[in-house]
Structure 1
Amino acid sequence: MTRDFVWGVLGAAKIGEKVVPALQAGAGMRVGAIASRDEGRARADAERYGVAKAYGAYEALLADPEIDGVYNPLPNDLHVSWSIRAMEAGKHVLCEKPIALTAAEAERLREAQVRTGRLVVEAFMVRHHPQWIEARERVRSGALGELRAIQTAFSFYNDDPTNIRNRPENGGGGLYDIGCYAINTARFLFEAEPERVIGLFDMDPQMGVDRLTSGLMLFSGGRQASFVCSTQLVPTQRVTILGTQARLVVEVPFNAPPDRDLRIVEDPGTDLFGEAAQATVLPATDQYARQAEAFVARVAAGGGADTGPIEDAIANMRVIDALFRSRESGALERVG
């Protein structure tokens, strides 16, 4: 019997409240160490989650021979540098989104993966939730007719200037933080890359980050995906998938709770009140645990030889790059 895959966690980020228990709960894995530049925080988190080791430096965790893989939830501007250092230390890396601040930065991760033979994956946990797998199967089956458009709304309210999401020097702003989900899931459903995009940005005048961003992505054949994301609006999230014969609504598309069933609703549009709509219930699932299990399976199947995940991450960053270019040009920008 092979031993468990042992995770190390870089930093004491708030998202660890969701991810660390999932890493502990995933089959065939456990968390062996947590590191923080504040050793007291590392010790507190290690005690909280029942983790044996706490380090007061990221370097110490990377030097630990017991650690097989690293979960990297550090601020966005530190994703690339510390993911590369982890791979160079012989660790596989699951890195929070966005995996980089530009596609060129993400390509450095591909180079490091090829050089070190260690896997690096962007942590879009939503792709592992049964509701998104079911949604894509319905698109593929033709149940919605021809998929023509996707509409996404995702927002929360946070105007704290000290929060990492509101600091431009750390890669803050709505597009990086949550708009990336709309891009990723549209690409997941269309199973294609957008050709041209345009973005509209409202920048916070004090903090200098985008607080309200809308984007339009044009795919081949006239297909479209649009989104609005905001860090200063009432909290909401919803995805509507529009085909020629029916629409599918993903009601809680991104922050799916691990302890509640979810619904996706298919509606043939025979009336404006949804009388013919049919809901499908998806059982409660920890999408973070599923993501971790899929990661470990990829490692077991070939690790750094599997370049698919990093290529997908680079493709997502190319769309973000083009949207930022459109902010400056005010025009449609080609992706790539």
Structure 2
Amino acid sequence: MKTVKWGILGASNFALNRMGPAIHAAHGAELVAVASSSAEKVAEFQAFAPAARHAKTYEALLSDPGIDAVYVPLPNHLHVEWTLKALEAGKHVLTEKPIALHAPEIDALIAARDRSGLVAAEAYMIVHHPQWQRAREWIAAGEIGTLRHVDAQFSFYLDDSGNIRNRPETGGGSLRDIGVYTFGAARFATGAEPVELSSRVIREKGVEIWAQVAATMQGPLGRYTYNSMTTMRAYNRQVVTFQGTTGMIRLEGGPFNANVHDMAEIELHKGMNRTLIERFPTVNQYQVQVEAFGRSVREGVPFAWTLENAKGTQAMIDWAYREAVDVTI
């Protein structure tokens, strides 16, 4: 099996703590370089991946012939630019979410991907986790009857004004940071898209820090109602429920940050309060994402989350911002 040799464009904390170790641990992958102006930051990656060399600039990493694929964990507003540059340099590229700040920007990425024949995708890791694959299977199989409603909530507390999530110039906001999960999870599990949508938001210093979105979704399983709440100013919570006519699927604890926030598990509730619970204590969704990307690079296996999928979620985020009514609490 050909090993995919990876470079990381930037020494972010998330790359250091999640994706760098996942690339290092993944079968068929090798972390060979990290681009940063700081040798000290690169040394932190070399502590678990000693062979990873230091690229002093992003351009140097992209010009390295020994690198097959690039992971881009840069601030949101830089994602499109450096994804395009990676493709132009002949590298496969996996870019953090949201891959763009507006849905039409993704058209240029799709065109560059198709023109180059390379693999380019958004790092939407949850679709590779078996708990989300199971949710989609159960819904499609009619395990909860006809789907009527989906409710998704994701919150955490972060009031650091210097953090890129709280800065308008770096594409901050709860919908961009975690709305990609609440919106994308429903779209992935049901295949539905919004046909009606309304939203209410709270802003601080030009950044949306709380959003409540209500929608009517239409897909192959028919119509259902949808509600999402995201905020960066409340205690940690992650929960998604799919409510049907004869049952309910519930993911709570770790539906988005599986086995980091809490245990990854999925519940199937049916008649007479009978509950089936499946737990996944050992699955690292970042690692399985890297391995899936490697299969796409080596064998042409379709990646579970395409740029077109990412564009659909970004279009929903764009719609929520257009319809936003500012409120105070």
Asked whether the two chains share a fold, i.e. TM above 0.5, the reply is: yes
Q: What's the CA shift for 1:41?
A: 1.9
2:322 to 315, 321, 325: 325
Q: What's the CA shift for 1:199?
A: 1.5
Instruction: Select between 288-297 and 109-118 the one with higher mean Cα deviation.
Output: 109-118
Establish whether residue 29 from structure 1 lines up as the match of residue 35 from structure 2: no
For 2:224, the equivalent position in structure 1 comes to 223
C-alpha distance in structure 2 between counterparts of 1:259 and 1:198, whole Å: 29
Q: Kindly indicate whether the alpha-carbon contact (under 8 Å) linking 2:200 and 2:326 is maintained by their aligned counterparts in 1.
A: no
Q: Kindly indicate whether the alpha-carbon contact (under 8 Å) linking 1:155 and 1:234 is maintained by their aligned counterparts in 2.
A: yes
C-alpha distance in structure 2 between counterparts of 1:114 and 1:291, whole Å: 21
Q: Deviations over 1:282-301 (max 9, x none)?
A: 34200001111111111223
**Relative to structure 1, is the Cα distance of residues 236 and 258 closer, same or farther in structure 2, using a 3 angstrom cutoff?**
closer
Q: Kindly indicate whether the alpha-carbon contact (under 8 Å) linking 2:241 and 2:250 is maintained by their aligned counterparts in 1.
A: yes
Using the aligned pairs only, state the percent identity.
38
Q: Kindly indicate whether the alpha-carbon contact (under 8 Å) linking 2:20 and 2:45 is maintained by their aligned counterparts in 1.
A: no
Q: Kindly indicate whether the alpha-carbon contact (under 8 Å) linking 2:71 and 2:94 is maintained by their aligned counterparts in 1.
A: yes
SS in 2 for 1:15: helix
C-alpha distance in structure 2 between counterparts of 1:101 and 1:131, whole Å: 28
User: Over aligned residues, Cα RMSD in angstroms?
Assistant: 2.2
For 1:7, the equivalent position in structure 2 comes to 6
SS in 1 for 2:105: helix
Q: What's the CA shift for 1:245?
A: 0.4
Instruction: Select between 188-197 and 8-17 the one with higher mean Cα deviation.
Output: 188-197
Q: What's the CA shift for 1:309?
A: 0.8
C-alpha distance in structure 1 between counterparts of 2:39 and 2:122, whole Å: 27
C-alpha distance in structure 1 between counterparts of 2:271 and 2:200, whole Å: 30
Q: What's the CA shift for 1:197?
A: 1.8
Q: What's the CA shift for 1:329?
A: 10
For 1:290, the equivalent position in structure 2 comes to 288
Q: What's the CA shift for 1:328?
A: 6.4
**After superposition, where does 1:68-217 map in structure 2 within 5 Å?**
68-204=68-204, 207-217=205-215
C-alpha distance in structure 1 between counterparts of 2:154 and 2:41, whole Å: 31
TM-score normalised over the length of structure 1:
0.90
**Relative to structure 1, is the Cα distance of residues 53 and 118 closer, same or farther in structure 2, using a 3 angstrom cutoff?**
same
C-alpha distance in structure 1 between counterparts of 2:37 and 2:104, whole Å: 28
C-alpha distance in structure 2 between counterparts of 1:302 and 1:232, whole Å: 42
Q: Kindly indicate whether the alpha-carbon contact (under 8 Å) linking 1:260 and 1:283 is maintained by their aligned counterparts in 2.
A: no
Q: What's the CA shift for 1:261?
A: 5.3
**After superposition, where does 1:31-50 map in structure 2 within 5 Å?**
31-50=31-50
Q: What's the CA shift for 1:276?
A: 3.0
**Relative to structure 1, is the Cα distance of residues 87 and 105 closer, same or farther in structure 2, using a 3 angstrom cutoff?**
same
C-alpha distance in structure 2 between counterparts of 1:244 and 1:280, whole Å: 22
C-alpha distance in structure 2 between counterparts of 1:98 and 1:323, whole Å: 15
Q: Kindly indicate whether the alpha-carbon contact (under 8 Å) linking 2:106 and 2:311 is maintained by their aligned counterparts in 1.
A: yes
Query: Which structure dedicates a bigger proportion of its chain to strand?
Result: 2
Q: Deviations over 1:227-272 (max 9, x none)?
A: 10000111111111111101111122001027985321222264xx
Q: What's the CA shift for 1:93?
A: 0.5
C-alpha distance in structure 1 between counterparts of 2:215 and 2:115, whole Å: 34
Aligned pair count? Answer: 322
C-alpha distance in structure 2 between counterparts of 1:38 and 1:317, whole Å: 33
Unpaired runs of 5+ residues, structure 1, are: 331-336
